[in-house]
């Protein structure tokens, strides 16, 4: 086990810089699959700034991936700072919005409009999410699923 952890740390530092979202997701999968120990800790620490940036900058209507993964990384590192607390609150809000969307999804685009309304009710900080939901709702209405 120790040899694998040390080898992984060396491999992690030898990897090229992560540029694309798909690369970030793959790097997290690799880190998370690493046995517990210093290698995993170092790997997660290297990902934390990138995921923090995505968690607080990607404003998508129904996507909790970046925020949820940032929370998981901080949990694995035992970091429970102000960013962690903010991300937890964001995740709670985003999950509630998702539930509102699902409750209203039987009407084309209506679930997204309901999510937009919820985000708007939270104040200006959540306006980018409301706008994203509104754009998505319009797209769903303009491009209906023929199977429905």
Contact 102, 111 (CB under 8 A): yes
Let me know if residue 15 belongs to a domain.
yes
Give alpha helix (H) positions in the chain: 2-14, 21-33, 38-57, 65-77, 82-103, 110-121, 127-142
pLDDT of residue 42: 95
Question: Of 147, 144, 113, 105, which Cα lies nearest the Cα of 131?
Answer: 113
Question: Of 26, 61, 22, which Cα lies nearest the Cα of 12?
Answer: 26
Let me know if residue 147 belongs to a domain.
no
Summarised one tens digit per residue, pLDDT across range 32-58 is 999 999 999 999 999 999 999 999 998
Q: CB count, 10 Å around CB of 68?
A: 18
pLDDT of residue 74: 97
pLDDT of residue 105: 73
Residue 107 belongs to what domain range? Answer: 2-142
Residues 96-112: what's their mean pLDDT?
Answer: 82
pLDDT of residue 141: 84
Let me know if residue 137 belongs to a domain.
yes
Residues 55-80: what's their mean pLDDT?
Answer: 92
The listed range with the strongest mean pLDDT (10-14, 90-94, 141-145) is 90-94
Question: How would residue 10 be classed by pLDDT, with cut points 50, 70 and 90?
Answer: very low
Q: CB count, 10 Å around CB of 60?
A: 14
Contact 69, 49 (CB under 8 A): no
Give percent above pLDDT 70 in the chain.
82
- pLDDT above 50: residue 12: no
Split into its structural domains, the chain has a count of 1
- pLDDT above 50: residue 13: no
Let me know if residue 126 belongs to a domain.
yes
Question: How would residue 7 be classed by pLDDT, with cut points 50, 70 and 90?
Answer: very low
**Alpha-carbon span 110 to 25, nearest angstrom:** 31
pLDDT of residue 106: 64
């Amino acid at each position: 086990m120790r040899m694998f952890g040390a080898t992984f740390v060396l491999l992690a530092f030898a990897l090229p810089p992560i540029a694309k979202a798909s690369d970030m997701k793959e790097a997290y999968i690799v880190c998370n699959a690493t046995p517990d120990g210093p290698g995993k800790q170092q790997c997660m620490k290297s990902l934390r700034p990138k995921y923090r940036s995505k968690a607080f900058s990607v404003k998508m209507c129904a996507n909790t991936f970046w925020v949820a993964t940032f929370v998981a990384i901080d949990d694995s590192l035992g970091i429970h700072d102000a960013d962690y607390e903010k991300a937890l609150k964001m995740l709670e809000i985003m999950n509630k919005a998702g539930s509102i969307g699902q409750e209203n999804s039987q009407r084309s685009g209506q679930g997204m409009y309901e999510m937009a309304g919820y985000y708007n009710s939270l104040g200006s900080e959540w306006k980018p999410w409301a706008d994203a939901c509104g754009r998505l709702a319009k797209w769903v209405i303009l491009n209906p699923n023929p199977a429905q």
